[in-house]
Chains A and B, each alone.
Chain A
Amino acid sequence: MTRVSMQVDGVTYTDEVEPRTLLVHHLREALGKVGTVVGCDTSNCGACTVHLDGQAVKSCTVLAVQADGAEVTTIEGIAAPDGTLHPVQKAFHEMHGLQCGYCTPGMIMASIDLLKENPDPSDTEVREGIEGNLCRCTGYQNIVRAVQQAAGELSGSAATPETTGAQA
């Protein structure tokens, strides 16, 4: 067993882990951060995406011991303390950027990473930016719209893409 200490969603946790423990399992099973899900378990789908020291990574492809000393942010840690949704969460909700919702935590974490790097991505840049995240329901249309709406909100512009399909 190896002692690891990491800050997850603002709280520091110190635990003994087996070196083979994947970060996603540590988050879910030891820390109860079940908002982060395991999708494909083969590093393809991106459902398990979290931020490690501010960068999006697939937590099924990181060992918990590699995150020792790091700051981890999961989907559970991005809303404001009063429950106000993060602009990307809000945009996925408003644009209905989901159907079953399983890919959503990873989609949102990858999108936040993309928008930090590219605050005003084109349709193609959004699709390329989230190429590491698979959605088997939506055909990505509303996901792309959501990311672009969030981009507008984060940069303070009023531009809002038109919505189609079911709305909340």
Chain B
Amino acid sequence: MIPAPFEYVRPTTVEEAVQAVAEGGEDVKIMAGGQSLIPVMRLRLAAPETIVDLGRVAEMRGVRDEGDALVIGAMTTHAEVITDPLIAQHAKLVAEATETVADRQTRRRGTFGGALAHADPAGDLPAVALALDAELVVAGPGGRRTVPASEFFVDYLTTALEEGEVLVEIRVPKLAGDWGVRYEKFNRVAQAWSIVAVAAAVRRENGHIAEARIGLTNMGPTPLRASATEAALSGAAAAPDAVASAARSAAEGTSPSSDLNAQADYREHLVQVLTRRAVTAAAGL
């Protein structure tokens, strides 16, 4: 299968990229690592007029320390994220979830920003960005703006990116205090898409859970926070019973789909089990 013909533009700066998108005609697609876009184009489910390839925009690649946050360039590949020492130190949940994305070869090409902008409900990184209160920096013809993760994911494969905008980098606040993290994922063997997954970050204090942040993958058209479970865990004893009890409300407010992999009610069951496991592990129990 071969994609339909398109015009190809390869900018080298963010400014050039924004300009190329503006000049790309009615149907322009931005390509990051291409690991979701090329398959979709091969199937002719997408046939854009113009492809703006961000592969040579060096300023969008890499991770830097900005004091209270890490800034991850949108074009940083999954393989780079997994081995980055700053991420290992300050955003371990990102690395842990990224290790479960697709396979070795795909992680060499696929990018952190591409996965967020694609916003596949079964993708692993949106729920992590949401759980960590990440902020997404986007550039457009009118300059740059910052969108919190809680407002970025709008619907199935739909984000707050406006026409003409490019996701440039992602600010991930460092977790201050005694945090433990865990990404708990349930998927079919040799098919790395999450049927359901749970991203948990837990801060312990004096034998109690002071704060829990829980992001859910594939429990609706967008990633979600397990707000009811987070509230139940706040101030709860760091004990298996308390965690198990809080995890029972993990499906509250979710709207999972039914598909070939799982029915909605099965996903509602899974999310409770995975939340219990993720929080238990993150709390060091």
Contact = CB atoms under 8 A, between A and B. Distances in A.
Interface stretch (B19-27, B88-96, B102-110, B215-223): B102-110
Contacts of A43: 35, 38-39, 106
Given A62-B38, A65-B10, A129 B104 contact: yes
Contacts, number: 81
Given A41-B1, A46-B105, A56-B104, A20 B39 contact: no
Contact of A58 (B1, B41, B106): B106
Interface string B1-18: 111111110100000000
Contact of B108 (A18, A41, A57): A57
A55 B108 contact: yes
Question: Chain B, interface size: which category?
Answer: 20 to 34
A131 to B, nearest CB: 5
A25 B2 CA distance: 9
Interface in A106-136: 110, 113-114, 129-134
Interface of A: 2, 18-22, 25, 41-43, 46, 49, 52, 55-58, 60-63, 65-66, 110, 113-114, 129-134
A132 B5 contact: no
A39 to B, nearest CB: 13
Given A19-B6, A19-B8, A25-B2, A110 B104 contact: yes
B105 A49 contact: yes
Interface of B: 1-8, 10, 34-35, 38-39, 41-42, 51, 53, 55, 79, 102-106, 108-109, 190, 192
Contacts of A114: 104
Most buried by A among B34, B42, B102, B108: B108
Nearest to A42: B39
A57 B79 CA distance: 12
B34 A61 contact: yes
Given A20-B41, A56-B108, 9 more contacts: A41-B1, A43-B39, A46-B105, A56-B105, A61-B38, A61-B109, A63-B8, A63-B38, A63-B53
